[in-house]
């Protein structure tokens, strides 16, 4: 199993190299040159295994230069040691006939990012040992809220690594901010930026691909890597839970082997839904991929018209982890659907960089539309969905999952398709207590974040996850804010690393 770059098909990297580097030196993203096949017999086998073993089987296919023992060590450390608060790791709940919620938030930070970020440090440790120059790995993260905390928690005190997280000062929920600001660990740092997520992501990418900064690091025995979903080591573990969900539906007798399912995903950077696309390409019987956006509907527009245009107003919404106008992982999809045409990708990405927009050719759009259905909803519709599902089923959705549930309902009404559908539930509702409480018409006036959690608990009797309850009383360690330009962010990076500019 080898990897090439979306911007240079001639590049070849092993899994370990792709994971240790994070991004290809040409600025492209690593993609597998061929995908492993999941046969029906293999899926049946996986159905009788626990999550960690399913993960080892699926990930093993992608980690060509890892031994079976190394793979198993990584998957066990992440998924079989009680780090997740549910024994199934990613359990399914049927909300109504054919509407299955895949709960991806039972990990230590209560968002789906844990699914990949609990294993990534282990994959990176093994990868760094193989690629072998013994350099300390410096993880730079741009976060819209959940990745930052999950990466900090995953990498804290991991040997041979340091981690620095940038988040938009006013673009995350109070709970997300508190989770990051109170992070423990000797090798961690957090800094807010005066800008939005796209500014943070652009700055991190520029620092990452700046040759002079890279040389300074190398001279100090360090190298950058990425824990964002541009890193293949983030994406591959996300393929596992779609396979696992299919296995669980089989096991429950809800479907028979070969029956199709749809997948609906609340989307931001396009990583989570891209993992479902890979699962489909590997042979998992997935029918439609339903892409759900909030008011920042750049993907809805792209997937219906073929025009990607980031020149538009940016809205902060009640689903902040989806407030994104540059969905990085779309580049991987376009590479595959253009028939692995790196020249097309170079052209499109240059246009995105210079004009903020591109239009894909009609045949490429047709292939996209064949696979994906896209919809969006605003904060009011998401809130109404939270209320409706709580009233009908006593099930509590977070604001991001609510967007997907709403859009899935629109899909079902519009198409009449009643294929069983797996809806990715990406966060525990208590991460966004204020918005969820307001959706249920609860009074939030004058309450601090923890009082809102308590009020939501009083109203719903749903369990408050321990990692969120435990934040109360933790000391705030990180208060720094910097400007959104590259120079300011570079200064923060060098400051944290104690390296002279």
Ligand X SMILES: *Cc1c(COP(=O)(O)O)cnc(C)c1O
Q: How far apart are CA 80 and CA 149, in angstroms?
A: 21
Q: Pseudo-torsion of CA 148, 149, 153, 156, nearest 10°?
A: 50
Candidates 76-84, 88-96, 261-269, 388-396; binding stretch for ligand X (CB under 6 A): 261-269
Site for ligand X in 482-501 (CB under 6 A): none
Q: How far apart are the first and last CA of the chain?
A: 39
Beta carbon of residue 389, minimum distance to ligand X (angstroms, whole number): 17
Instruction: Specify whether the CB–CB gap between 164 and 140 falls below 8 A.
Output: yes
Nearer to ligand X, 71 or 289 (CB): 289
Contact 401, 423 (CB under 8 A): yes
Separation of CA 22 from chain center: 15
427 lies in the site for ligand X, by CB under 6 A: yes
Total residues at interface with ligand X (CB under 6 A) = 16
Other beta carbons within 10 Å of 277: 23
Quick one: which segment of 163-171, 177-185, 266-274, 483-491 binds ligand X (CB under 6 A)? 266-274
Q: Which is nearer to ligand X, 57 or 427 (CB)?
A: 427
CA 138 to CA 497: how far, in whole Å? 9
In the complex, minimum distance from the CB of residue 6 to ligand X, in angstroms, rounded to a whole number? 17
**Cβ closer to ligand X: 11 or 175?**
175
Residue of 133, 213, 179 lying closest to 489 (CA atoms): 213
- Residue 401 structure tokens: 């999952």
Residues from 17 through 36 that contact ligand X (CB under 6 A): none
d(CA 88, CA 248): 10
Closest residue by Cα to residue 439 from 321, 322, 319: 319
Task: For strands 222-226 and 307-309, give the pairing.
Answer: unpaired
In the bound complex, what is the minimum distance in angstroms from residue 325's beta carbon to ligand X?
Answer: 12
> At closest approach, how far in Å is the CB of 445 from ligand X?
26
| 426 touches ligand X by CB under 6 A | yes
Closer residue to ligand X in complex, CB, 80/291: 291
- The residue among 213 and 286 lying less far from ligand X, judged by its C-beta, is 286
The stretch among 5-13, 263-271, 365-373, 480-488 that binds ligand X (CB under 6 A) is: 263-271
Comparison of 11 and 383: residue with beta carbon closer to ligand X: 383
Contact call for residues 29 and 8 (beta carbons, < 8 A): no
Task: Write down the residue that tokens 């998992």 correspond to.
Answer: 284
CA-CA-CA-CA dihedral for 328, 124, 105, 79, to nearest 10: 150
Q: Note whether 267 binds ligand X by CB under 6 A.
A: yes
* Distance in Å, CB of 27 to ligand X, minimum: 19
> Is residue 146 involved in binding ligand X (CB under 6 A)?
yes
Instruction: Give the one residue of 22, 32, 233, 268 binding ligand X; rule: CB under 6 A.
Output: 268
Contact 264, 231 (CB under 8 A): no
Binding status of residue 400 toward ligand X by CB under 6 A: yes
Residue 3 · residue 14 · CB < 8 Å: yes
Q: Provide the 8-state DSSP code for 431.
A: G
Among 322, 365, 371, 386, binds ligand X (CB under 6 A): 322
Residue nearer to ligand X on the CB measure, 217 or 424? 424
Interaction between residue 270 and ligand X (CB under 6 A): yes
Nearer to ligand X, 426 or 435 (CB): 426
Closest distance between ligand X and the C-beta of residue 111, in Å? 4
Which range in 86-94, 191-199, 213-221, 265-273 contacts ligand X by CB under 6 A? 265-273
Lookup: tokens for 255: 């479907």
Which residue matches tokens 């990180």? 478
Site for ligand X in 99-128 (CB under 6 A): 111, 113
Counting every residue written for the chain, the total comes to 501
Binding site for ligand X (CB under 6 A): 111, 113, 146, 229, 266-272, 321-322, 400, 426-427
């Amino acid at each position: 199993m080898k990897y090439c770059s979306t911007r240079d098909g001639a590049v070849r990297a092993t899994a370990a190299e792709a994971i240790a580097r994070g991004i290809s030196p040409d600025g492209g993203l690593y993609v597998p040159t061929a995908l492993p096949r999941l046969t029906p017999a293999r899926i049946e086998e996986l159905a009788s295994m626990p999550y960690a073993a399913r993960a080892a089987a699926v990930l093993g296919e992608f980690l060509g230069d890892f031994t079976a023992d190394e793979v198993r060590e990584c998957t066990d450390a992440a998924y079989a040691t009680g780090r997740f608060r549910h024994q199934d790791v990613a359990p399914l709940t049927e909300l109504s006939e054919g509407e299955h919620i895949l709960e991806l938030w039972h990990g230590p930070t209560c968002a789906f990012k844990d699914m990949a970020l609990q294993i990534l440090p282990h994959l990176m440790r093994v990868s760094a040992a193989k690629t072998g120059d013994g350099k300390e790995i410096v993880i730079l993260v741009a976060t819209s809220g959940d990745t930052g905390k999950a990466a900090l928690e995953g990498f804290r005190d991991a040997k041979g690594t340091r981690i620095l997280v940038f988040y938009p000062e006013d673009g995350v929920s109070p709970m997300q901010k508190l989770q990051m600001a109170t992070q423990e660990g000797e090798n961690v740092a957090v800094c807010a930026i005066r800008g939005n997520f796209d500014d943070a992501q652009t700055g991190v990418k520029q620092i990452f691909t700046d040759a002079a900064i890279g040389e300074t690091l190398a001279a100090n025995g360090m190298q950058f890597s990425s824990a964002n979903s541009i890193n293949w080591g983030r994406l591959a573990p996300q393929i596992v839970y779609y396979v696992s969900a299919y296995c669980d539906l089989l096991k429950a007798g809800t479907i028979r082997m070969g029956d199709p399912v749809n997948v609906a995903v609340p989307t931001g950077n396009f990583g989570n839904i891209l993992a479902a696309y890979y699962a489909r390409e590997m042979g998992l019987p997935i029918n439609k991929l339903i892409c759900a956006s909030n008011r920042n509907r750049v993907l809805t527009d792209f997937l219906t018209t073929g025009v990607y245009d980031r020149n538009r107003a940016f809205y902060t919404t009640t689903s902040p982890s989806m407030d994104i106008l540059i969905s990085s992982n779309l580049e991987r999809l376009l590479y595959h659907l253009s028939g692995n045409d790196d020249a097309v990708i170079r052209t499109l990405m240059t246009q995105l960089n210079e004009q903020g927009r591109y239009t894909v050719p009609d045949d490429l759009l047709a292939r996209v539309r064949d696979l994906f259905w896209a919809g969006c909803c605003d904060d009011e519709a998401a809130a109404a969905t939270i209320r409706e599902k709580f009233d009908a089923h006593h099930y509590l959705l977070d604001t991001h999952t609510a967007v997907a549930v709403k859009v899935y309902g629109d899909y079902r009404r519009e198409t009449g398709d009643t294929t069983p559908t797996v809806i990715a539930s990406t966060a525990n509702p208590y991460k966004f207590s204020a918005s969820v409480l307001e959706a249920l018409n609860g009074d939030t006036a004058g309450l601090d974040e923890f009082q809102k959690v308590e009020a939501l608990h009083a109203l719903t009797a749903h369990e408050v996850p321990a990692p969120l309850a435990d934040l109360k009383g933790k000391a705030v360690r990180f208060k720094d804010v910097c400007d959104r330009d590259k120079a300011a962010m570079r200064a923060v990076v060098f400051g944290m690393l104690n390296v002279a500019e």
